[in-house]
Amino acid sequence: MRIALVTPYCYPSTRGNAVTVERIASGLRERGHGVRIYSLEAFQDRRETPSGIRAFGPDVIHGFHAFVSGDLVVAEAAEARVPALVTITGTDINHDLFDSERREKVVEVLKGAQGVVAFHESIQEKLLREVPELHGRVRVIRQTVACDGKEDDHHAQWGLDSRHIVFFFPAGIRRVKNLPFCVPPLLRLQVSYPNLRALYAGPIVEEEEGKHLLGLLAGNEWARYLGEVPHKVICSMLRVVDVVVNSSFSEGGMSNAVLEAMSRGVAVLASDIEGNRSIIVDEVDGLLFTSEDDFERKAERLIVDPDLRRRLGRHAKSKIEREFSRERELDAYEQLYRDLRGRSGD
């Protein structure tokens, strides 16, 4: 098949959509499909994107992020008389669908697509409550992991050694990721546990949120903002950090950062939200927190108890190997593309 993937951002960006699209594209290419990625950030004029898609002649056009790329995907698929598929993101399902200025566009896009992908059953249920007309068109395909990184001496690079307990925050800096939330409790803990260190890695997506976070970190030698770090480096960093934190207000199903940490056997401390609960069982393969005090208590447990970190990491890695097969993800996309082509009469 010839598959066009349309995304707001593309690899090597570390944004969630970019990592997901690159993983899917590389897997489909390995299986012999012709795949091209069309990133909207690559074109100053969005009108350039359709001409590239038309020249490619795809059998299906698959867009990621209904509000940002969905209208283009639906329009171009109709013009080419091929199926349009839209993957709904966290911003779509948790924010844009409930924004009075954006809801109409998101709903129109989803109704115009022949298929919709959600990353988890809870997201599917939420979507169908809001747009019941989509019954029969939404398919759940869970996220998986592709996280390979070479060994690097990150400890030496950042002045760390084996005594340090490193909390790692791999996320773009924007309000929904809620990164400033964790700084005050970590600052209190650092007084009692001077071996505590915090690393932040990700692009500043929202300038005001970036200023807020960097202002909180300023003057604290135990915490460091590394800027946007390539995905392969993120994966190699997971070999040397002790805890990965996800403090998001919301996720569109499954966080790539959480899945990647779990796949490497790293303990995860995550906000108790729908998306994180879809991956983590509290106290079994990760810890979930509900408040600042709860975060501080559970972070302290992870600092003082290396056996807890190892146990959570071991169970997390086992879960990823057991339940989040990359082959199963690719099988699901291939079947969905075939089903959509069959419905369109190809």
Each residue of 291-332: pLDDT tens digit?
Answer: 999 999 999 999 999 999 999 999 999 999 998 888 999 999
Report the domain count for the chain: 2
Q: Are residues 308 and 228 part of one domain? A: yes
d(CA 262, CA 14): 18
243-264 average pLDDT score: 88
Q: Are residues 302 and 162 part of one domain? A: yes
Q: Are residues 255 and 116 part of one domain? A: no
Q: Are residues 165 and 99 part of one domain? A: no
DSSP structural state of residue 57: -
Q: Are residues 186 and 134 part of one domain? A: no
Q: Are residues 282 and 200 part of one domain? A: yes
Q: Are residues 312 and 174 part of one domain? A: yes
Is 167 contained in some domain?
Answer: yes
Q: Note the pLDDT tens digit of each residue in 63-94.
A: 999 999 999 999 999 999 999 999 998 888 88
Q: How long, in residues, is the chain?
A: 346
Is 329 contained in some domain?
Answer: yes
User: The domain that contains 181 carries what CATH number?
Assistant: 3.40.50.2000
Q: Are residues 306 and 192 part of one domain? A: yes
**48-69: burial string, b at 16+ Cβ within 10 Å, e else:** ebbeebeebebbbbbbbbbbbb
Least confident segment among 34-43, 54-63, 215-224: 34-43
- Asked if the model's pLDDT at residue 155 lies above 70, the reply is no
**Residue 77 has which token pair?**
């698929």
Provide the H-helix boundaries in the chain. 16-30, 48-56, 66-80, 90-94, 103-112, 121-130, 154-157, 183-192, 207-217, 231-237, 256-263, 274-277, 292-304, 306-323, 326-343
Q: Are residues 255 and 117 part of one domain? A: no
Q: Are residues 132 and 234 part of one domain? A: no
Q: Are residues 315 and 220 part of one domain? A: yes
Nearest to 269 by CA among 239, 250, 248: 248
The pLDDT of residue 87: 95
Q: Are residues 283 and 259 part of one domain? A: yes
Q: Distance from CA of residue 296 to its chain's centroid?
A: 25
Q: What is the pTM of this model?
A: 0.80
Nearest to 117 by CA among 31, 20, 231, 222: 20
The pLDDT of residue 184: 96
Is 149 contained in some domain?
Answer: no
- Report the amino acid identity of residue 249: F
Q: Distance from CA of residue 82 to its chain's centroid?
A: 28
Compute how many other C-beta atoms are within 10 angstroms of the C-beta atom of residue 136. 8
Residue 200's domain comprises 154-323
